[in-house]
Amino acid sequence: MQNNKNPKTYRGFLRNMHLINKSELLMQNYDSLINKFLSGAISKEERALLDSWVFENDANKEYFKNQIKAYSKNVSIDFDSVYPYQKFTKNIASKKAKVIVIRNVMKYAAAVILLLAIGLFVAKNQWDQKPIEDKVVDIQENNKNLDKNEIILTLPDGTSKVISTNGEEIVLDEKGKVLANRSNASMSFNNEESSLDQIVYNQIYIPFGETFKLQLSDGTQVWLNAGSKLKFPQNFTEAVDHRTVYLEGEAFFDVTTNKTKPFIVNADGVDIKVYGTQFNISSYNTDKNVAATLVEGSISMYQTNSPDQELKITPSHQATFNKTEKKLTNAKVDTDMYTDWMRNKLVINNLTFDEILTKLERRNNVQFINKAENLKDAAYIGEFADENIELILQTISLSTPFEYSFNQNEITITQK
């Protein structure tokens, strides 16, 4: 019987079969790596191999994304967004780590939760619009029954006012003079310089569960985090060669440039000096450190009583003052981790369980009673974006099991 097969064609066919089999074998290997990734059993070397394969071409990336979707029941993951693949996978640091993807369907939001035994990562966006109302409120009104759960503005004469975060209002002093204008959770003070020799201060208190934005009289913008207090001049006087404010808590500053009058933030024994820049300061009384994180420009930090021993830093660096050791240090950081609170994100950067509870107390105006002693040494890495507190607790409890119960604004944590 005559063999009609062309030797070259047959050899090509065999070679193609070999390539197909090899390709199928490789795909099976990568399927195995993906399964290990999803189960948290992937090693450092295997993850590096998977990373390389995913970014080899768009087809591999799409295949990997579809595998994730199938595993997480069609949760949408966009690798071209602000949360790229590297950030999605960066916390898989242990063979014992578990990966759990949870879908939270909302009208204006989609959430992806990657939960690890050593940490957690959440990405979500949500938009919230509030109705606007018009009203004029005299500063002497609502002077009684002030509550620590409300935003309170105190003027130089000692009068205080509860500040709403809904609608618009004009803030007047006792003589009817306009001091500031408020629109929702933002207030702007009159842009004028005082000719008085003495500086007079306002003070604003932001309770747990709230954030607020101020524009000072020099145009400097300040975003105040929950549980913060800022003392600031009503107007910056011509007779003083600096612009000093006093912070307790956390705030992000976008300072108006004035080379003749540096801007100084005093925070628990240290001063942060700037001329015009953007930076975040965290200085809660319960924290061990005062931390100044620089986004743009330049700043210096020094102990208030030792201005000649200042520490200067450049963008993407953080200056830290240890309150116990009285020591200044400087380190390069990811500034987003320290400013995302302005976008209502809860950032967890190698925090203990107790430290996470402290952040949740400030953010949600609740009080925790932690009876789960086994959790106190657990450390986590990750972030939540605008999630409610129950979903956050549910997510963390999947990684390190515990039970919790609500009694109004008191939450008790117990060992499971």
Say what the pLDDT of residue 195 is. Answer: 53
**Residue-wise DSSP of 209-266:** T--EEEE-TTS-EEEEPTTEEEEEESS-BTT-S-EEEEEEEEEEEEPPP-TTS-EEEE
Of the ranges 36-50, 84-98, 177-191, which is most confident? 177-191
The residue among 34 and 393 whose pLDDT is bigger is: 393
Q: Which of 37-51, 278-292, 381-395 has the lowest mean pLDDT?
A: 37-51
CB of 243 closer than 8 Å to CB of 263: yes
Say what the pLDDT of residue 87 is. Answer: 39
Task: For residue 39, give the nearest of 96, 120, 111, 89 by alpha carbon.
Answer: 96
Please tell me whether the overall predicted TM-score, pTM, comes out greater than 0.85 for this model: no
Q: Which of 284-288, 313-317, 397-401 has the lowest mean pLDDT?
A: 397-401
Strand partners, 181: 170, 188
pLDDT digits (tens, 9 = 90+) for 165-177: 999 999 887 777 8
The pLDDT confidence band at residue 205, using thresholds 50, 70 and 90, is very high
The mean pLDDT value for 16-22 works out to 44
Contacts of 17 (CB under 8 A, 6+ apart): none
Strands (E), 57-195: 100-106, 109-115, 120-123, 134-138, 151-154, 160-163, 168-172, 178-183, 186-189
The pLDDT confidence band at residue 88, using thresholds 50, 70 and 90, is very low
Say what the pLDDT of residue 14 is. Answer: 40
Of the ranges 15-19, 70-74, 137-141, 354-358, which is most confident? 354-358
Residue 77 structure tokens:
């993951």
